[in-house]
Amino acid sequence: MSTAEQLPRIFQANLGRFFERVILPVMENLPSHAALETGEADSLDQFLDRAAAQVDNYTANEAAKAFVLTLAGLFERQMSRWARATQDAGIADMSRLTGFEPLLAGCAEQAGIDLVVDGLGEALTQMFVVANVVRHGEGRSCERLRAIAPDLWDEEGADYHDLLPGTPVASEHVRVRQADLERYIRAVTRFWGLADPLPLAVTGPPYGRCVSANFGDGAAPV
């Protein structure tokens, strides 16, 4: 069994464990509030409670954005490793695949994955663009994200308040919710399930607390 054949299952298991053991516990333990109260407070305590709630929701959103950046970086690194293993095995020339989107297209083609089916490529690309916005702020990636995922902005939402002073900027108002994190983890684990040539590959991974249960703890980390 070649390294290239083993890697997709190991990658999938590592991603599942990271989501269950790190991302979910952090997000579920961060305090959050369905709606933020505004207007004149009746007391100093009420004012301070409202300010604390704003900080809670702002912090939770920052954590979610940071996790998208981590997931995108991890997945890109995994694709690079798989491409290198594929080339080392003499299976295909993958040497020109650099950068997230060329890697995604090249690895998908080599693995026989149709990125259009079930919006897989759309979810993976969105994750990557969100990560770029988190990393760089305003710029072409932010403009692109506004075009492909306008639902990640909710200017009328009652559950978020930008704590930064000055003129608001679009990149600071990107909202990443737990449902988005679940969508991204499902996409990356499904990708490796589809690339997995071994028996009993998991091609329709769940999300949430049952993610890694389907992958088990037997795969060695990379």
Q: Each residue of 167-203: pLDDT tens digit?
A: 889 999 999 999 999 999 999 999 999 999 999 999 8
> Given pLDDT bands bounded at 50, 70 and 90, which one contains residue 206?
confident
- Residue 162: per-residue pLDDT: 82
DSSP 26-71: HHHHS---S----S--SSHHHHHHHHHHHHHHHHHHHHHHHHHHHH
Reduce the DSSP state of residue 98 to 3 states and report it. coil
pLDDT at 207: 61
pLDDT confidence of residue 19: 96
Domain ranges of the chain: 3-34+43-155+166-214
Helical packing angle, 120-136 and 178-195, nearest 10°: 130
- pTM metric for this prediction: 0.88
Angle at which helix 44-88 crosses helix 178-195, to 10 degrees, equals 10
DSSP conformational letter for 128: H
